[in-house]
Structure 1
Amino acid sequence: MQINLPDKLYYSIGEVARAFDVNASLIRFWEKEFDIIQPKKNKKGNRLFTPTDIKNLKIIYHLVKERGYTLEGARIALEEDQNLEDEIELVFRLEKIKAEILSLKSYFDDVED
């Protein structure tokens, strides 16, 4: 999964939900289930997610959606594995490289035809 968000200080819940291709309600649910996600709230009560929140959401998304962990299993993994953040960041970088390679392959396949 590739997360495409511009570099900003804060992201709205809509931006975050679109980036992860999930419903905003799932982001709110994960916020309640995982205390490492702590968006700020403006005067209207709208959630404003920081880049740190996005990084933590990437980890949770990877554990729950890609590895198939239960919420409890993801919580335990977050508590026990200190290198988890680095591992998941590496997975995201590798997926990005894979997508670029596949794009190049497709381009050259089209050029040959």
Structure 2
Amino acid sequence: MQIELPEKRYYSIGEVANAFDVNTSLIRFWEKEFDILKPKKNAKGNRKFTPEDIKNLKFIFHLVKERGFTLEGAKIHLKEEKKKPLETFEIISKLKNVKAQLLKIKEQL
């Protein structure tokens, strides 16, 4: 999945929800369910997601929406593998982006 967000230090929950094409309520729900998600909150209580939070959300989205894990299964997967699957997932995502770009170039030829 390709998420397009501008390079920023913090993202609002609306920006994140639009990037993932989900409702903000799902993002809030996942925040409660997964300990790995800890967005900062300002004085008004608005959530501000860091790029690290976005990486974690991408991985959770991949597990739940793309691979079909249940929430409990995704939690167990995250706890068992800690950082290793996240790094592997990032590498696979980058390779998929490179593949998509190469296919696009091939079509233009």
Report the CA distance between 1:8 and its aligned residue.
1.4
The two structures have a TM-score, normalised by structure 1, of 0.88
Aligned identity (percent) is 65
Matching residue of 2:9:
9
**Cα RMSD (Å):** 1.2
- Match status 1:36 vs 2:19: no
Matching residue of 2:81:
81
Higher radius of gyration, 1 or 2:
1
Distance in structure 2 (CA, Å) of the matches to 1:40 and 1:92: 26
Distance in structure 2 (CA, Å) of the matches to 1:88 and 1:68: 16
Matching residue of 1:90:
91
Asked if 2 retains the 8 angstrom alpha-carbon contact of 1:42 and 1:48, the reply is yes
Counting only pairs closer than 5 Å after superposition, residues 11-26 of structure 1 correspond to structure 2 as 11-26=11-26
Matching residue of 1:101:
102
4+ aligned runs moved over 3 Å, structure 1: none
The one-letter amino acid paired with 2:4 is N
SS at match of 2:7: coil
Distance in structure 2 (CA, Å) of the matches to 1:48 and 1:25: 15
The two structures have a TM-score, normalised by structure 2, of 0.91
Distance in structure 2 (CA, Å) of the matches to 1:103 and 1:21: 23
Distance in structure 1 (CA, Å) of the matches to 2:6 and 2:17: 14
Runs of 5+ in structure 2 lacking a partner?
A: none
Distance in structure 1 (CA, Å) of the matches to 2:17 and 2:108: 31
